[in-house]
Every structure is written in C-alpha cells, then in structure tokens.
Amino acid sequence: MARLLDGRCVIVTGAGTGLGRAYAHACAAHGANVVVNDVDEQAALAVVEELTATGGHAVAEPGSVGSWSTAARLADTAQRRFGRLDGLVANAGVTHHAAPWEEDESQLRRIVEINVLGVQFCAIHAMRAMLRQGTGGSIVTVVSGSRFGIPGMSAYGATKGAVAAMTAGWALECAPAGIRVNAISPLARTGMAAIDARPDRPALGAPEDVAPAVVALLSDATRDVTGRIFRFDGTRLGLYAPEALSTVADEESRAAAGRAASIARTLARLAGAAVDTE
C-alpha cells in the first residue's frame, strides 16, 4: 500500500471514538504522526495506545475544542513533538434532537461552542502554524446533510451550515499560502448517527470505510483541490456543486404596488405550490 502521509503530522479532533478514531487510525496507517484529541482523556489515551501498538507515532492532547487554549495547545504539541503540522481534521462535534421551540439556551450555546467555535479555534491555530512553517497544509472540516433540513436537527444543521461557509471562505483566503480547506459530509455507523433514527435511512457502513476519503484530502494527491464539499458513505463518493444563483424572473419593470404579489406567484410556481395573492 502506498503511504500517502509519510512524515506528515496531522491533528484529529474528536478522535476518541467513531469517525475520529477511524480517521486517526487511517492517517497513522499512511505514515502520519497523529495528535489525538478528545474531550475524554481516557479515550484519547486508548487510541494513542492502539496506534503505537501497530507501529504508529501518536500523542494524546485531550480537552474541549471549544477552548481557545486547547486549540492552541494542539498546534503547539504538533510542532513541539513532531517538528511540523501538515494537516487538521476538525472532526469534533456534538448533537441532540429537539424541535426548535424546545431548545434552551444551554443546549444552543453548547452546540455552537463546539461545532462552530471549536472548528474555528482549531483551524485558526493550525493556519497560524502552517503559515509560520511556510510549507502549506490541508484542513478538513466535517459537515452534514442536516444543513439542508432534518426534523429535530435544526440547531445541529445550522452549525454545519456555518462550517460549510467557513470552509468556502477559508479556502479562498488560505490559497495563496498553499493551505487547502475542504469538507467531508460522512455517512457511517456511529453513536451520533444513531440519534438520527429515521426509518427510511439506508444501512450505514463502518467508520473505517469512510476514513480513506479524509486521507486523500490530506495528501498531495489532492493538492489542487480546495473549497469543495464531498459526500462519502464508504462506497459512493459525491461532490456538492458550488452555490449558484439563477435568474428566475425579471421583476424590474413591474409596478411597485404589485411586485410582492407577482414575486409570490413566481416563488410558489417554482416550489410547486399554489398561492392566492389576489
């Protein structure tokens, strides 16, 4: 097997279980030195033991990514222990199911702190380390189909929509420095996926089946790929098209008094609905 990450150093957040653990194992198998982060210290240490037992090089750096100091420590540890930082997999996240009117302040603050600020904090410190290094790098964020709407997951979907927006913006800003930023929308059998127990949901594969896509995005094999969002379930690989704006009607010449009604009819027609605006 060709080792795509030989000599590199990669941080994986939320790597104590599930997809994060699978990403850490896959990176180590491809020759990367891995900084294993998880809010559960024992879980992070256990993954490090697993990696070193198979000949890998890894170090645990536990803590919540919602802490600015933890995020800074991750980048510092990578450079101090392994002499460099080449990749970040911003995988850590939390979710819960609730109707929007059932949310409370503590739940909303927690999900935004981890899923949005935690990704920002880790990416900012990784970018700073990569800029100082001057050799570029790759950042992989994690999004979800919930950003398009899943009942009970509006708060989680909002955070993943924010991550998608950050991915696009960072890709543009980091490109001159050779830092690539892409996102993966993974589908796998994990504890978090079990929360979304829709009866029509297809059977999910193991986290290890999804991990090769993350290795590919961290490697030089995708050095010309940035600002993209990929969907992978271990078998089917898809690419979300960049957002595009299409003109659906010319409203400029219409009288102001009737413009809202005209636009309402156009929007309803596009949505396949009927509306009475008379």
- Among all residues, which ones are annotated catalytic? 156
**Of 2, 62, 61, 5, whose CA–CA distance to 28 is shortest?**
5
Distance CA 169, CA 118 (A): 17
Alpha-carbon distance of 166 to 264, in angstroms, equals 32
Amino acid at 195: I
The 10 Å CB-count burial string (b at 16+, else e) for 228-265 is bbbbbbbeeeeeeeeeeeeeeeeeeeeeeeeeeeeeeb
Distance CA 97, CA 85 (A): 36
Taking a C-beta distance cutoff of 8 angstroms, is the pair 175, 224 a contact? no
Instruction: Please state the length of the chain.
Output: 278
**237-239 vs 229-232, strand pairing mode:** antiparallel
Q: In what order do the strands lie in the sheet with 9-12?
A: 57-60, 33-36, 9-12, 87-90, 137-142, 179-186, 229-232, 237-239
The answer to whether residues 127 and 119 touch, using CB atoms and an 8 Å cutoff, is no
